[in-house]
Structure 1
Amino acid sequence: MNLPGRLSQDDSQDVVGAILELFRARGDSGYGHEAVTQLEHALQSATLALENNAASELVSAALLHDIGHLLHDLPDDAPDQGIDDRHERVGFHFLKSYFGPSTYEPVRMHVDAKRYLCAVRPGYHDSLSEPSQVSLQLQGGPMNDEEVAQFEGNPHYQAAVDMRIWDDTAKDPEKQTPSLDDFEPHLRRAFTTKA
């Protein structure tokens, strides 16, 4: 699928439309070894953000946090092959062109939020699914004290932690969610608040 290049602020229809189309075209791919697809995982994450009264920018971040998986061409089982797909970086670089920091920073930080929580929250590591534990090792393992302090120094760190918790629980094949189209207004609001 061809995604738009850099578009102006007036072209939100094209950006948001391209994002929705990307999910329609590639969202049925597997979410690692979890029991949900990429789209189901994204919708569940965004639904949890809504249930926690998050602003549209963070709801959009929750929906888009794994968009990097849809933008690269690596196989679904890349972590099993010892490959860190760096999806958070791919997603961040794409989103930074169109959204503000309240959306793209939690996306950039969501892998580090897992590393952070493993370092500061007893029992968190054991609560992770097996695929998340495997990918954690590829992503650097739990943070050290210096990394924890640096992470907490980012003004978006709490949003990234909240989103990480939603990410961790958004793997239920039975969970009912709003449709992808129901999140379009949140994406448009987040796009128009880019600053």
Structure 2
Amino acid sequence: MAEQQYVSWTRMEDGTAEDWALLDEKERAFNADHVDRVLAQLKTLDVDWGGYRVTRFEHSLQSATRAHRDGADEEMVVAALLHDIGDILSPYNHSEAAAALLKPYVSERVHWVIKHHGLFQGYYYNHFMGGDRNARDMHKDHPFYEDCVYFCANYDQNAFDPDYDSEPLAFFEPMVRRVLATPKFGHLELGNDEPAAAE
């Protein structure tokens, strides 16, 4: 059995080209299981924390099923499946968590819709909770505003039906593997809110 290799440094500033080549190799090997980890995280939503008539996992399957049956492209179907994946670990900004996961793999339009869907969903309940149901209108002039309205109306707010015949996760897994196969926008942090040009 080969001995585990480690970098020579304890501070990044002392790294060598060989060290970074080693880390790149190790990262690529680890990331080969990325989709498995994403799907495992999605399954953690299969718990009943009360109130809703379906779990967030079933909601996710239903959302993706609705998108698929509506003829949405594969990126949007996968985004619908994963749009609430941050609910357990990041409940107060779950939209941003899901968008961050998807950002390297999807178009700017799909990323924007997922990043803002939480705000747009407020249209359906904010006014019952002392908030502004029209808060989404701060983005009224954005080119993807109507896409997000459509996503919420057709794939999200209506995806809490315990009698809906959702497709199983196995149906979507090949799509997830295709969409998350290779970052389209590079794997380095972009440092801004816009995707880099595709390579």
The answer to whether the superposition gives a TM-score over 0.5 is yes
CA pair 180-13 structure 1, distance change in 2 beyond 3 A: farther
Contact kept? 1:43, 1:179, Cα under 8 Å: yes
Of 103, 121, 144, 1:114 maps to 121
- Specify every segment of 5 or more residues in structure 1 that has no aligned partner in the other structure, as ranges: 1-6, 75-84, 119-124, 126-132
Encode CA deviations 1:102-147: one digit per residue, 9 max, x unaligned: 43221111122234xx3xxxxxx4xxxxxxx269748x52236xx6
Q: 1:49 to 1:9 in 2, by over 3 A?
A: farther
Paired with 1:13 and 1:179, the residues of 2 have a C-alpha distance of 23
TM-score of the aligned structures, taking structure 2 as reference length: 0.66
Shift of 1:45: 0.3
Amino acid at match of 1:154: H
Question: What are the within-5 Å matches in structure 2 for residues 14-93 of structure 1?
Answer: 14-24=33-43, 26-30=44-48, 33-72=51-90, 85-93=92-100
Q: Which has the higher contact order (CA 8 A, sep 6+)?
A: 1
Aligned with 2:166 (options 177, 181, 191): 177
Q: Matched residues in 1 for 2:49 and 2:35: separation?
A: 22
- The code of the aligned residue for 2:134 comes to M
> Are residue 154 (structure 1) and residue 142 (structure 2) matched?
yes
Q: Which amino acid in structure 1 is aligned with residue 151 of structure 2?
A: M
Mapped pair 1:194 → 2:184: yes
> How many residues matched?
159
Compared CA separation, residues 159 and 14, structure 1 to 2 (3 A): farther
Work out the percentage of aligned pairs sharing the same amino acid.
Answer: 30
Say which structure is richer in helix.
Answer: 1
Contact 1:45 1:62 in 2 (8 A): yes
* Aligned-residue RMSD, C-alpha: 3.1
- 1:2-25 per-residue CA deviation (whole Å, 9 max, x = no partner) reads xxxxx978977522211111123x
The code of the aligned residue for 1:92 comes to: A
C-alpha separation between the residues in 2 aligned to 1:189 and 1:152?
A: 32
Letter in structure 1 aligned against 2:144: H
Question: Once the two structures are superposed, what CA deviation does each residue of 1:143-181 show, in whole Å capped at 9, x if it has no partner?
Answer: 36xx62x52333332332222112111101121111112
